[in-house]
Amino acid sequence: MKTRPLGRNGAPVGAIGYGAMSFSDFYGPTTDAASMRILDACLELGITHIDTSDVYGKGRSETVIGEWLAARGGASPFVLATKGGITGKPERRFRNDKRYLTKSLNASLKRLGVEAVDLYYVHRRQAEREIEEVTETLAGFVKAGKVKAIGFSEISPASLRRAHSVHPVAAVQSEYSLSTRLPELGLKQTCEELGVALVAFSPVGRGLLTDRPPDAKMVRKIPFLKGNPRFMKPNLAENLRLTDAFRALAEDMGTSAATLSVAWLLRQGPHIHPIPGTRSLEHLREVAGAVDLTLSAEDMNRIEEVLPVGWAHGDRYSEAQWIGPERYG
């Protein structure tokens, strides 16, 4: 697989990474054995950037990765990224203080079975705590040898600049796809200017941008989607209708909708790193194929004609789901 650096001075990784939220039951039931088969396939496909978090399955995702590594002698063939800063006690909230993040990082390292993680993100920013202070905490982890590079998830361009002035930020994680274009309002440009990787999660629009999009029956089985505006009536029907044209375009171009949507993201710049997540080996191979799909300017125009900016019906999050990510524009 073609590679690109994870940040200006970061390690080269496969242009497409893997988001290991799917190692929990977030998008449907799975097994640890199935997750390990996904990791086997990632290695075969050249997907070397694995992204997880301490809250994915309450540590289950990290544990699965750690057990996979242990079964192979402990040395990691992957660039491992994990996150901390969300606590579910007594309710879902955010803590970025040094004491909490230190405890979270140590627990993550233990579950992963590694002495240092390649990239450590603050998963959600604690709004009342200055980001400069949080960045100093992360810089301390680098100095201690527990973290090789630092990042933030779902922060604004302004917050990125403030953090980067304290210590180099290697990556910012944000939802970015043909259905979520918010990063184009400054985050993509700021990342490029500062030499920061923009790690794009949900690159196939939580399934909307695939040949097998979730229907109403499937949505009812997944709590997150059931409460998400884009998958609720009447928005879901309209979004499925609109993406039918995208599926037809992909077929006309001789590829799948998922492959085309990820290839579109890769075309946005060499600092963009899509991290699709899936429980399906077939779908994993499908999205990995995007690295071999070269899109011309005409191809990009055709895609934009079918799915212009702002096409999606419904916000990307409900009001409850919006708690944590920074809004900007």
Q: Rounded to 5 degrees, what angle do the CA atoms 55, 322, 305 make? A: 110
Give the contacts of 142 (CB within 8 A, at least 6 positions apart). Answer: 148, 149, 150, 167
Q: Is 263 left (phi over 0), alpha (psi -120 to 50) or beta?
A: alpha
The answer to whether 2 and 15 have CB atoms below 8 angstroms apart is yes
Residue 188 gets which letter from DSSP?
Answer: H
What's the N-to-C CA distance of the chain in angstroms? Answer: 35
Gyration radius (Cα) of the chain, Å: 19
Give the contacts of 74 (CB within 8 A, at least 6 positions apart). Answer: 113, 114
The answer to whether 243 and 208 have CB atoms below 8 angstroms apart is yes
Q: Which three-class secondary structure state does DSSP give residue 81?
A: strand
Is 176 marked active-site?
no
Strands (E), 126-225: 150-153, 171-175, 197-201
**Which of the residues 27, 56, 121, 317 is marked catalytic?**
56
Give the contacts of 318 (CB within 8 A, at least 6 positions apart). Answer: 227, 228, 229
Active-site positions read 56
